[in-house]
Chains A and B, each alone.
Chain A
Amino acid sequence: MSKITFLKPDRSNINAVLSIGIIFVIIGILDVFLNTFFKLNLLSSFPKGISILFPFIIAMIGFHLVRIEFSGSRTIDLLNKNINTSTFNAALTLLILFILIKAIPPSFSWMILDANISGDSKEACTGTGACWTYIKVWFRRFMYGMYPNEQHWRINTAFLLVIGLGTFGFFATEKMKKFLALYYVVIYPIMAFMIIYYLISGGYFGLEWIETGAWGGLSLTFIVSFFCLIFCFPLGMILALGRRSSLPAVRYVSIGYIEFWRGVPLITVLFMSSVMFPMFLPEDFFMDKLVRVIIAITLFEGAYCAEVIRGGLQSLPRGQYDAAKSLGMGYWKMHIFVILPQALKLVIPGICNTFLALVKDTPLIFVVGLAELAGMLALAKTNPEWLGYAMEGYIFAAIIFWIICYAMSKYSYNLEEKYKTER
């Protein structure tokens, strides 16, 4: 009986209880720790069933003892409040801690400690860890696809130019600001297209012509998502306005369009663009594969964009429309100067999500035979000289995509904060 009262945390013998509890917790965690790192088992003499559960049980008892309200120590109170509010909570905490201790060291040592990066052939990879040499050797292929090595400066220059032109908005003076919308919707896409066409595709000014089949890698991901992003936005805007139009024919055409594209998977759309679309064009009319893919993705994402923009249009109070009308504005004037600026501000997060989905969807273009990053990985994986390094390749690609997408989502959050207006 006295043992049970001893186990019950009490403020009368607080120091003893706390110290015993903390020691128990530390023993439990230390046991798992030593077990994973040094293959040591503190309780090897115990029966097998108990020695597996031992750290868990002992740490649970420890957490139970530590759980005292107003213990007088700030750290203990903070601990109790955050990770040790109840028995269930303590169990979950321990579970997560043990999983972290069990999972992180092996993956850390696989990725960094035992990994190889030196050398430039398969023989360099001797350790048990990851073989980053594979990534190093194939790096240019992963970034630029089958584009000739000595021509890579063209892709880099083109991207730098396009990004440079895109930052125009930051340096525009007050006077030029009213032309910004025109610049970004009309002039910028045309200029970007010209740059990419003349620089990357080539064929003019003494530059060698390189067919789109050779384009690939991450740069192709950027090219496809950049063009789709630019073109799908105006399309979505038109469709959103069409869906909210009071003219039945316009409305139903828009609804039919939006619901059709939203109802089919992108992969079938790409199939359509590659096998069915050529049937619909005149015989002698040739359209490049990449162009067809860009058109298909643009049509597809335009529908999603339209739904997001429609959400913004619907959330505007009716008074805005009435006020604009009472000032004598017509349909287009009302939308361009009053409705759309407010609505677009509201839908920034939604639009960014659509764009994120677009970037994440671009790997799908492998079904029509365009090898961007995921496609190049599949190609490298089947290379007889580099068999068996699929894991490294996919982790590398996952990290790259994760950085891009995470940065975009954080940026969209910042934009949302920046343009927030109190209503």
Chain B
Amino acid sequence: MKYRILAYIFFVIGFSDLFIKIFFGNIFNEFTEDYYEIANPILVFTPVLFFSIGGIFLKEARVNMSIENFGTSRFKYYTPQLVCLLFVVLIFLFFTFNAQINMENRGIDFGFGFLKQEASFDIQFSLVEYDGLDPYWWAYVAALLNTLLVAFLGIIFCTILGVIVGVARLSSNFLIKNAASWYIEFFRNIPLLLQIFFWYYAALRALPLPQDANSLFGVTYLTIKGYYMPSFVWNNLNIFIYLFLAAIISIIFVRYYAIKLRDTKGKQLPVFYISIFLLIFLPGLSFLIGGVTLNFEIPILKQLSATSFIYDGGISVPPELIALTLALSLYTATFIAECVRAGIQGISKGQKEAASSLGLTPNQVLKLVIMPQALRIIIPPTTNQYLNLTKNSSLAAAIAYPDLVLVFAGTALMQTGRAIEIVSITMLTYLSISLAIAALMNWYNKSIEIKEK
């Protein structure tokens, strides 16, 4: 109980600390000048510290101290902990002290005020409106979105490829099995950085120039300057989106109704076909009566100078993004394929036989018996691979794709010289992405784990 109260006290302190810092600035600022100078770098992070201490106490309260430390004396229990904590605190103090002196010598003061200054550098490719007049924090957002874009594309492609290869690895066909396993052995034993370099500097450089490019599917162009696709030009997009949402909500209702019907009357509704019908029909309706129109803007070759051509209009995907997505998904797919294979092999044959002896159809066997069990084995390592992919996307800096590391830890760091702030912001961003995904995975794991009595 006392741990819980302590935890809540720390949470309250953390919240009030954060509140004061945001709205009033540092309260120590005025009357203790010298003390503030030394402790400022620590003081910025105090809310985080209070929250984590509170969290630790809360966790301890749940564990309820049921650890076996009987037979040990009080001395043996407290000394190692004190030494350990003292060690950590001393290292932190040493670093802060040195940082303080070094920054004083170089005439920099610690703080995050620079985030509001004008960035005055350009980002080659960004999903949001950005130009050099925008502040640093907006450059940070644009760069973060680029990182997330690469991670998102990579995760989609590596999942598709990984599942196909993983299943192919278990095929009865001799050629397919071997092709899959050679693919895995080949791509996962070569450093990712080399693969990215290979795709970017060697493979994509062999593509034709824009003026010589042949079209793929008639409307898209794959050239040395990137991939050009037609873009959608919507009219009244919001009506379409509302109807799409309405379709999804009605599908949820249909599912509930189908389950109810099955439980009470024993009837089966073809939920899948109804869902597809709704998904196509409702948004389609908006074209007929909602005044929604959809046009394509097709890229057209444009001459900039005597020898320089580009495609104008449409969406252009830069070659950096293509190379990075290709390398990341080809590399990570090998690991996902192994996870998928392990998951499917982990289900015993008896499960399948037992399910079909109960009279389930092959589709039902797959959906109700095999997949839930295989997913339990597949999902945790696969999530880890997604995390790895997200972290590996930072290699983008090597081929100048403007991601978080290149833009923020590279260009912004060069311009401002604020090493500590910028590197810690970058690391904390990746750390929070990782911890968020890890927490989500733990929650999911708990929800699907076998409930034992």
Contact = CB atoms under 8 A, between A and B. Distances in A.
A268 B85 contact: no
Contacts of A281: 98
B441 interface: no
Nearest to B92: A280
Interface stretch (B136-144, B339-347, B418-426): B418-426
A353 to B, nearest CB: 10
Interface in B159-211: 171-176, 179, 185-186, 189-195, 197-198, 201-203, 205-206
Interface string A381-398: 100000000110011011
A265 B391 contact: yes
Interface string A355-367: 0100111111011
7 nearest interchain CB pairs? A249-B81, A263-B434, A405-B189, A265-B391, A263-B431, A82-B174, A391-B202
A401 B198 CA distance: 14
A402 B391 contact: no
A83 interface: yes
Contacts, number: 167
A229 interface: no
Given A268-B430, A279-B419, A390 B77 contact: no
Interface stretch (A8-16, A26-34, A269-277): A269-277
Q: Counting chain B CB atoms within 10 Å of each CB, which of A96, A259, A269, A279 scores highest?
A: A279
A264 interface: yes
B306 interface: no
A406 B430 contact: no
B69 interface: yes
A401 B189 contact: yes
B98 A271 contact: no
A85 interface: yes
Interface stretch (B21-29, B348-356, B393-401): B393-401
- B interface secondary structure, majority: helix
Interface of A: 81-83, 85, 89, 92-93, 96-97, 246-250, 252-253, 256, 259-260, 262-269, 271-272, 275-276, 278-283, 356, 359-364, 366-367, 374, 377-378, 381, 390-391, 394-395, 397-398, 401-402, 405-406, 409
Contacts of A282: 98, 101
Given A276-B423, A283-B101, 9 more contacts: A247-B77, A249-B80, A268-B409, A276-B419, A282-B98, A391-B206, A394-B202, A397-B194, A409-B189
B435 A263 contact: yes
30 contacts: A83-B173, A246-B68, A247-B80, A249-B80, A249-B81, A250-B84, A263-B431, A264-B430, A264-B434, A268-B405, A268-B409, A268-B427, A268-B430, A269-B427, A272-B423, A279-B102, A282-B98, A282-B101, A359-B191, A360-B189, A360-B190, A362-B191, A374-B193, A378-B197, A390-B197, A390-B205, A391-B203, A401-B191, A405-B189, A406-B185
A401 B105 CA distance: 44
- A interface secondary structure, majority: helix
B203 to A, nearest CB: 8
Contacts of A279: 98-99, 102-103, 419-420
B175 A276 contact: no
Nearest to B102: A279
A324 to B, nearest CB: 13
A364 B194 CA distance: 10
B448 interface: no
B8 to A, nearest CB: 18
B392 interface: yes
B56 interface: yes
B197 A268 contact: no
Contact of B173 (A82, A248, A266, A395): A82
Contacts of B171: 89, 92
A283 B97 CA distance: 11
Given A268-B423, A390-B201, A280 B189 contact: no
B193 A402 contact: no
A80 to B, nearest CB: 11
Interface string B79-121: 0111011001000001100110111010000000000000000
Contacts of A263: 430-431, 433-435, 438
B243 interface: no
A93 B173 contact: yes
Interface in B383-414: 391-392, 394-395, 397-398, 405, 409, 413
A279 B95 CA distance: 8
